[in-house]
Amino acid sequence: MCGICGVYDLNGKRKDKLALLEKMNAAQKHRGPDDQGVFLEGPAGLGHVRLSIIDLSSAGHQPMLYGDRYALVFNGEIYNYIELRDELIKAGYVFSTHCDTEVVLAAYDHWGEDCQTRFNGFWAIALYDRKEESLFLSRDRYGVKPLYYTGQPGYFVFASEIKTLLQDENIPRKANDTVIFDYLVNGFVDCTEETFFQGILRLPAGHCMVLDKAGNQRMKAYYELPYSEQLIGDVNDEMVKTFHKLFQESVKLRLRADVPVGSCLSGGLDSSSIVCESSRQLREQKAGDDQKTFSSCYQGDANDERAFIEAVVEKTGVDAHYIYPTGDMLFEDLDHLIYTQDEPFVSTSMYASYCVMKLAHENHIKVLLDGQGADEILCGYRKARVYYIKRLLHAKKLGRAVREILYYLPYMRKGKNVSFLAELNMLKQFLGKTSSSDIRHRYLEESFAHRTLKNSYENNERFLLNDFDKIVLPALLRYVDRNSMAFSIEDRLPFLDYRLVEYAMRLPLNAKIDNGYSKAIMRKALDMPKIIRERKDKIGFYTPENAWMAAHSQTYKALFTAPDFRAGKYIAAQKIADDWDQLTSGKDDIGLFRYICLEKWMRAFDVQSA
């Protein structure tokens, strides 16, 4: 896992490419503290910082040259590099290292752009063809690893993080009004290739791009997720066995490393099943005695999941580590968290992940397994159940619809937990039920509040797929990448093995939601303690946000009365200050934290209104 950056300057206007690349490497040193390097030739400059995971020797240094033709910088892991290496050896290739980077170069040399479809892993790749003087960029199927870019005709800059791009002083720091409106009104982030910075884009997941010396720029999708939505189908033992086998193989590949591999453990189904399976495999390899897990807990809070976590610890015998985030800790870390994330985020839930990564770093862990992706491929969210019931009613499957409602009603958590209401509100947005009178418009600056949403997700036939490739997963992947890499940790995601994803996406909905249970096939197929297997509630990325905001209420309020308030084009700051007590009481769900986060983000990155 690493950080990459680069410049492609056809006009030769950038005379200080070396100095710029060194500044960019320094800005993302946290992504790769073990080594760094630069490459300059012709119009191209490549930079790289390395986090050594596979082949810890200097042989894995990047930028890596291949023959006299290619130069590569690579961020990610190709888990099936051993199998690909063997295949390439049979084709006549000779290898001088044991790392996956050299396999990527040989694969590109042998298969060209088609090599992307052979990789099992996650990656952001920049490869310079010295003969053609062209630049090839690629991002993995589901966008686990980031790749940002910007530029004008003849001048192109790319990097793993936006803060790295901003080391180029010629890149303006202008806010993107379209993205900010989507964020404040809907709570959406990372839904399109646009970012919060005007003119800075992300290469879409499953896409590659080629820039050539004639000034042409070609982008294309090399992957499209196969998806079919069958409402009800036969769920048999063979289906369960296949899911189990694919999951086992995914975990096995993601345990490949030349450093110890730990796990995040929340007490939910996803992380619990990963810890149970990885623990089993490590014991078989005689390497499980020192497996470490890392968890975020909240002493005295009704939503604390330590009882579930300890059930996994007792079952597996892992070495468990805990951290207990507080409102004071968030207050101290918030500016760094916002800087870490590069762009605003919706809630304080991201701080739980940040704390877990910090704890793992303090325990000298460089690789963690994590559970992102399971909710999206297996209908883990409450809104997915609502969608499923609506589909059943529409198909006149009344008995099954009523059964699902009755089984689940006793487990719908109410009261102080607002996440259920928030998800119902989101469901209304997806189904086109919002209006301009929505409370979230009330605290927008008047002229900004009357904008029209550019992005719409009202296509009901794509409801679950939208969660995967637009609405939910892309944001989660950004959060976990920045949080993990801030502490020089590679976060691996077994549920996003493309074979498992494609299989799950073809399953009928009743294989995922059944008798009030979400992720039904997962509960049947995977190993986990009974107390977790039988859970119907979902805590998610919980943090006691209201209490944390209240702990420093007046300091947060002062942001909106400060004479140098940055976000005045977007936020009616005085209205928020006037209604502060009501807003912090939790009575009005406007997502107050996102207003705080936007203002602090504009300050952290010196962003100007467009």
Q: Cα 376 to the chain's mean position, in Å? A: 12
Three-state SS across 454-499?
CCCCCCHHHHHHHHHHHHCHHHHHHHHHHHHHHCCCEEECHHHCHH
CB contact at 8 A, 305 and 531:
no
Cα dihedral 71, 74, 80, 85, rounded to 10, equals 20
State the angle between helix axes of 81-90 and 100-111 in degrees (0 to 180), rounded to the nearest 10. Answer: 50
Q: Three-state SS for 71?
A: strand
Rounded Cα distance between 293 and 363, Å, is: 10
| DSSP state string for 516-561 | TBSSHHHHHHS---HHHHT------S---HHHHHHHTHHHHHHTTT
Rounded Cα distance between 219 and 396, Å, is: 44
Closest CA to 264 of 519, 490, 482: 490
Catalytic site residue from 2, 99, 115, 264: 2
Rounded Cα distance between 27 and 414, Å, is: 44
* Strand 261-264 relative to strand 292-296, pairing: parallel
In angstroms, the Cα distances linking 583 to 41, 440, 517, 562, 563 are 56, 12, 34, 19, 22
464 is written with which tokens?
């679950």
Rounded Cα distance between 256 and 281, Å, is: 11
Rounded Cα distance between 17 and 20, Å, is: 5
Cα dihedral 500, 504, 506, 508, rounded to 10, equals 160
297 belongs to the catalytic site: no
Residues serving a catalytic function are 2
